[in-house]
Structure 1
Amino acid sequence: MERVGSEPSVPPATREDATLVSRSRPIPDVSFRAFLAARDPPRLQWASHEGLELAGAGVAARLTASGSDRFESVRSAAEGLFADADCTNSDAPRPRLVGGFAFLDDHEPDPPWTGFPAAEFVLPEVQLTRTDDGTWLTVNRYEPGADPDDVASDLDRAVEAVADLPKMRPAGSQPGVTEVRRPTPKEDWTAQVADAVERIEAGDLQKVVLACALEVDLAGEVDLPDVLERLRRTYPNCYRFLFQPTEEAGFLGAPPERLVKRTGRRMETEALAGSVGRGGTPEADADLAADLVESEKIQHEQRLVVDAICEQLAPLGEVSEGEQTVRKLANIQHLRTPITADLDRETHVLDIVGSLHPTPAVGGLPPDVAAETIRDVETFERGWYAAPIGWFDADGDGEFLVGIRSGLAGGRSATLFAGNGIVADSDPQEEWDEVQLKYRPLLDELE
């Protein structure tokens, strides 16, 4: 096991005494939900609506870090992990580190975020990879004297273990909700919005995203892979993720928003800011979308986000802003502006993640003042909420989503998170109503 940070609790493996050996094999398609259900934590899943899906269980290597240099710390440790790796010569199932970051760099893994440090990435012992070209099973070992023949034998056994898993598996039923509590009551939220607007009017702040938590008691045990499968069916055009380090709880969600995708010298991101609900008829839906596009408040919020992202990316290469559209999801609509960059030098995806996080869509502007406001105003611990969740490989390619529309769930309880951007003319009632909409993706799959 490899750990990084200022004071690792376990002596780190070095390039001299540990080697990564990875072996993969194409297999018939299998239910990722069934694979996860057959495995104990730690386990993870990460899926893009554009095709790539990963699932993993066990830990071949773990990288953790904290502090303001956590992005660089993880990248540096990963370079040692991937150095001189002995891997199957195939692009699709290449070893990928999967994990994420906390919203704040000084986050501590205290309850309810036990097992979630300020940064953690896992190389699974057993990894499933699905692309448009097929499905692969991979076994990874990172240890002194890792033997390729032993890893190949482990792969044989892993293939046998998944051979009888079904291609499809029912997602099961919702556990049911017995009670809901709001740690931030509506009157407190109104006061928080008023506080933020006062700071904006004073000229120190342009925008801040304020979030709330919703504590949920469940009638039965929650099955996290089941919840993911139901989210896949309801929100096919969203990302999906699960990071479950312990039996106690996992962090999961179906975010609509990409933080960054890096493929060689090509980088893609987007600004997703401003939202309204869906209409009950096509005409009502179109009217709501028109209101979204024509709203001066929402267009101002969107422009703040677009300009900030373009400014953050400008040192990396030529940045292009695409055409603004309305992104329609099952229960909500957003303004979306795609942004791309042609990188003018080799730039690891974690460098870009560190440059962009937190975007104004989940933090605010200016970033330091917004972060201070969040610390002062919010009454709960964000943990990994609204932070980067994703994967990267030895080449520095990777993709990260923004961990919104998300929650922490385990046993018979869950905590859901949602937030909204506050600008000078924000109305507390409208903002409160919009936040309630953003709980629905996960809450609907629990009720």
Structure 2
Amino acid sequence: MDRTSGESGDRSRLATEVDAGTDPGYDTSGLELVSHSRQLEDVSFGAVVDADGETRIQWATPDGLEIVGRGEAVRIVATGPDRFDAVRRQASRVFDRVDHDGPDVARPRAFGGFAFHDGHEPDDEPWSGFDAASFVIPRALVVRSDDGTWLTAVGETETDAEDRLERWSDRLADLPAMRSSGSGPGVDETTRSTTPEEWTDQVESALERIDEGRLTKVVLAQALSIDLADDLDVAATLERLRRRYPNCYRFLIGHEVGGTFFGAPPERLVAKRGDHVETEALAGSVARGDTPEADEEYASTLFDSDKVQREHGLVADAICNQLEPVTRELTVADQSVRKLATIQHLWTPIEATLETDRHVLELVEALHPTPAVGGVPPAAAWETIHETETFDRGWYAAPVGWFDGHGDGEFAVGIRSGVARGDAITLFAGNGIVADSDPDDEWEEVQLKLRSILDELR
């Protein structure tokens, strides 16, 4: 299946579809890719991804790594319960035949993510074009890190890669060094997936299951559909989110059809480099205070609240339980508070050393969904979410990130996110329900989380 990129005369040679973990009908055994890199002066990342009609990727971490990508050299999709393994197997075949000429920081990587539920279908709005699992190796990558700014071009031959490198060098030279982040498009109308009355019923139903012993915790979410006064500039919105939430991840994933999924999640799912693994428990939230004293008073409730401590402990314990079988060393740091612009969270960093070599997608599969976005026990929580929520989560609260040919990579949890389509956007937010949850309090906390992107649209 060919997919046309936005470069004149340039066609993507491969879009591999994998269904339920089976090997695809498309034979990739003969596919070979060549990538060449060149160091650049600084460029406007927002301008690179400011395009429709072709795949565009943006990824940024709190520690300063920023990557943007355009076009598709390879696209891999998968469905069903074996989608994690299917993506890993197929990508390994591709990466085994990539010849990279350039520094390691500029190497080709596969960017994408997974839907929250393995049975997700990419047919219904707002999730048109987002498969249950989808990753692309972009044809052009720009990477900014402590090692400088690098352009990488991927082609089928040496000549193809070199020609694309020259074309993209010329294109980037014509872009402005800085791009205005502008202002929000304005909000015309909002429609909630869940009314306050329906929310109360949902929470009370979950509490009944908890009282009956069927659940310990479940995360229930809401969707907010918004009609905007003008088309949304997603790249500019991400730039405003960078300034407001500098210690969060930022991502953008848009294909040639469908919407653009983007967000500024505070939560790392997992990062793997060699045998070193980093993850975290992020659960329990309160508002920011208007004064430093009020802010600290709010923060202290995260440590003093039995409800928050119980909820947070479920998340931290579940992560450790999933990692322990594959690690030879596991370190859990002390609890602290992660402060964001409008909200603060209880946070526990977790690090591990792997016992044997593992692909990051194996860890992603083991950890998704953490109790911070799913619940405990997982099967009962998933059943409750299916039966309770009135909308499709799509890629919300699911793994979003990248991996490379070594099996290293980094994934965030796709929260504080939305999917945009022209002058419309759907935002998502949820909250953990435990034994003593109050529906009104949980409602207010969800609205606080929706503000992270909503405030940038007004």
Other-structure match for 2:192: 182
Once the two structures are superposed, the pairs formed by residues 181-220 of structure 1 within 5 Å of their partners are 181-220=191-230
Letter of the structure 2 residue corresponding to residue 288 of structure 1: Y
The structural deviation recorded for 1:108 is 0.3
User: Does residue 316 in structure 1 map to residue 326 in structure 2?
Assistant: yes
Other-structure match for 1:36: 49
Letter of the structure 1 residue corresponding to residue 261 of structure 2: F
The structural deviation recorded for 1:39 is 6.2
The structural deviation recorded for 1:6 is 2.6
Mapped contact 1:208–1:363 kept (Cα < 8 A)? yes
Mapped contact 2:154–2:164 kept (Cα < 8 A)? no
**Structure 1 range deviating more: 322-331 or 87-96:** 87-96
The structural deviation recorded for 1:4 is 3.2
User: Does residue 333 in structure 1 map to residue 347 in structure 2?
Assistant: no
The structural deviation recorded for 1:323 is 1.0
Mapped contact 1:4–1:74 kept (Cα < 8 A)? no
Other-structure match for 1:73: 86
Q: Distance in 1 between matches of 2:268 and 2:383?
A: 25
Mapped contact 2:69–2:140 kept (Cα < 8 A)? yes
Query: How many corresponding residue pairs?
Result: 442
Other-structure match for 1:420: 431
Mapped contact 1:4–1:73 kept (Cα < 8 A)? no
Q: Distance in 1 between matches of 2:365 and 2:112?
A: 14
Using the aligned pairs only, state the percent identity: 55
Q: Distance in 2 between matches of 1:324 and 1:12?
A: 48
Mapped contact 2:19–2:83 kept (Cα < 8 A)? no
Other-structure match for 2:139: 125
User: Scaled by the length of structure 2, what TM-score is found?
Assistant: 0.94
SS of 2:218's equivalent in the other structure is strand
Once the two structures are superposed, the pairs formed by residues 84-163 of structure 1 within 5 Å of their partners are 84-112=97-125, 113-141=127-155, 146-163=156-173
Mapped contact 1:99–1:243 kept (Cα < 8 A)? yes
User: Does residue 372 in structure 1 map to residue 386 in structure 2?
Assistant: no
User: Scaled by the length of structure 1, what TM-score is found?
Assistant: 0.97
Q: Distance in 2 between matches of 1:59 and 1:382?
A: 26
Residue by residue over 1:376-396, the C-alpha shift from the partner in whole angstroms, topping out at 9 and shown as x without a partner, is 111110000000000000000
The structural deviation recorded for 1:418 is 0.2
Q: Distance in 2 between matches of 1:290 and 1:271?
A: 18
**Structure 1 range deviating more: 327-336 or 87-96:** 87-96
The one of 226, 233, 250 aligned to 1:240:
250
Q: Distance in 2 between matches of 1:390 and 1:218?
A: 28
The structural deviation recorded for 1:173 is 1.9
Other-structure match for 1:269: 279
Q: What is the RMSD computed on CA atoms of the aligned residues?
A: 1.4
The structural deviation recorded for 1:308 is 0.7
The structural deviation recorded for 1:249 is 1.4
Q: Distance in 2 between matches of 1:11 and 1:173?
A: 47
SS of 1:446's equivalent in the other structure is coil
The structural deviation recorded for 1:133 is 1.3
The structural deviation recorded for 1:40 is 4.2
User: Does residue 305 in structure 1 map to residue 318 in structure 2?
Assistant: no
Residue by residue over 1:70-111, the C-alpha shift from the partner in whole angstroms, topping out at 9 and shown as x without a partner, is 000000001110113211141110000000000000100022
Q: Distance in 1 between matches of 2:18 and 2:213?
A: 37
Other-structure match for 1:63: 76
Mapped contact 2:53–2:255 kept (Cα < 8 A)? no
Residue by residue over 1:102-138, the C-alpha shift from the partner in whole angstroms, topping out at 9 and shown as x without a partner, is 0000100022111000000011111111111111111
Consecutive unaligned residues of structure 2, counting only runs of 5 or more, are 1-13
**Structure 1 range deviating more: 41-50 or 189-198:** 41-50
Q: Distance in 2 between matches of 1:188 and 1:342?
A: 45
Q: Distance in 1 between matches of 2:300 and 2:384?
A: 32
The structural deviation recorded for 1:158 is 1.0
Q: Distance in 2 between matches of 1:38 and 1:218?
A: 19
SS of 1:15's equivalent in the other structure is coil
Q: Distance in 1 between matches of 2:346 and 2:278?
A: 17
The structural deviation recorded for 1:42 is 1.5
The structural deviation recorded for 1:153 is 1.8
Q: Distance in 1 between matches of 2:291 and 2:394?
A: 38
SS of 2:456's equivalent in the other structure is helix
